[in-house]
Amino acid sequence: MYKKPCGVFDETYEQDSALVRTGYRWLMLVLLLACLFGVLPLFAGNYFMDAMINIAIMVIAALGLQIIIGFTGQVSLGHAAFMAVGAYTSAMLSTHLGMSFWIAMPLAALFAGLLGILIAMPALRIRGFYVAVTTLAAHYIIMWLILHGGNLTKGVSGMTAGEIRIGSFAFDNELKFYYLAMLFAATAVFLTSNMMRTKIGRAMIAVRDNDLAAEFMGINVFKTKVTAFFLSSLYAGVAGSLLAHYQGIITVDQFTLMDSIWMLAMLIIGGATITGAIMGVVFLKILQQVVLFGAPMIGHVFPIFAGSAVAAFMQIFFGAVIILFLIFEPRGLFHRWQITLSTFRLWPFPY
């Protein structure tokens, strides 16, 4: 919840229910959007644009995971599989049936969401570790189905997806796709932050805090959990579909258990809020780039490690960073950021 600075009061109902509360925040938001959509593409090269597109796509997926974990409190280890469902459905519709992205993407997202509901069915009665392992089981089953889909999913050789176009305008280079991906990501952030203030969003938080208590308060726990799983998989489906059409070709290797864990780590590192999820995505992307450039250097210094340095150090750093965050900053970067902000706001007083 956003805390207003001292002395700012809501005088009308519109002010009370506004998403952006103060003029200062409006200014920051406009500056951020101007930076993302106007300034950044002017200076950035293709490599950086590619990284930004990946970040935008991962933000959408991480927000989906945030709905199920951060707001509803059900730990899901199968998020990458739902992304795969979205990606493959979208790719199949566009390749086999020749559908345009604008029809294939919603259908793919819907299908991923419905599959999410199917997996959530046992979730009424199970909780905690049982949910985590159930979604793990779902991951293995879904990935097996995709791998053995025969001509439908093209198995190990990967699936192609057509490029996105509106009329004769095609999103065929990084710059054009960047705008599209950022637009989707911004919309997802906006929708999610609004949804959390509606009845279903608050019901999710109640279920997370204590599902029995929530049920006594008259919340339909089953419906809430199923909706959360549906929405979460829907986001994953959109992200997967975007990824498929951005890369043009997708393989099962892109949606491993490791990818689900990366997304979980984004929430741990960022902190389980919407802003936190974005921060986590960016932080892990930076870590990934550092390892990609740094690991070959370690391989140079210690030649015995040269063979597998990148893959190995990626996992080692990744595991170490999560453990360090869990021990020293379990509430994530966002919490740290808020502390920093309020320190500056109150300076020179300690509180």
Q: Is residue 114 near other proteins by the rule CB under 8 A? A: no
Q: Is residue 156 near other proteins by the rule CB under 8 A? A: no
Site for other proteins in 161-200 (CB under 8 A): none
Report the alpha-carbon distance of residue 143 to residue 230 in Å, rounded: 19
Given candidates 18, 19, 29, 121, which one binds other proteins under the rule CB under 8 A? 121
- CA-based radius of gyration for the chain: 21
Site for other proteins in 216-235 (CB under 8 A): 216
Given candidates 71, 318, 332, 333, which one binds other proteins under the rule CB under 8 A? 318
Q: Is residue 333 near other proteins by the rule CB under 8 A? A: no
The token pair at 203 is 């019901």
Binding mask 32-71 for other proteins (x = CB under 8 A): -------------------------------------x--
Give the range of 26-34, 170-178, 183-191, 313-321 binding other proteins by CB under 8 A: 313-321
Q: How far is CA 108 from CA 82, 88, 104, in A?
A: 10, 8, 6
User: Which of 78, 113 has the CB closer to other proteins?
Assistant: 78
Give the range of 79-87, 122-130, 190-198, 341-349 binding other proteins by CB under 8 A: 122-130
Q: Are 241 and 302 in contact, with CB atoms under 8 Å apart?
A: no
The token pair at 133 is 């392992």
Q: Could you give the 3-state DSSP secondary structure of residue 288?
A: helix
Report the alpha-carbon distance of residue 16 to residue 21 in Å, rounded: 8
Distance in Å, CB of 61 to other proteins, minimum:
17
Q: Are 20 and 26 in contact, with CB atoms under 8 Å apart?
A: yes
Q: What torsion do the CA atoms of 217, 223, 224, 227 make, to the nearest 10 degrees?
A: -160
Q: Is residue 313 near other proteins by the rule CB under 8 A? A: yes
Residues in the chain: 351
Pure H helices in 210-273: 211-216, 221-247, 257-270
Give the range of 12-20, 32-40, 186-194, 326-334 binding other proteins by CB under 8 A: 326-334
Q: Is residue 264 near other proteins by the rule CB under 8 A? A: yes
Report the alpha-carbon distance of residue 250 to residue 95 in Å, rounded: 12
Residues engaged in binding other proteins (CB under 8 A): 69, 73, 75, 121-122, 125-130, 132-134, 136-138, 140-141, 144, 147-148, 150, 210, 212-213, 216, 258, 261, 264-265, 267-268, 272, 305, 307-309, 311-320, 322-323, 326-327, 330
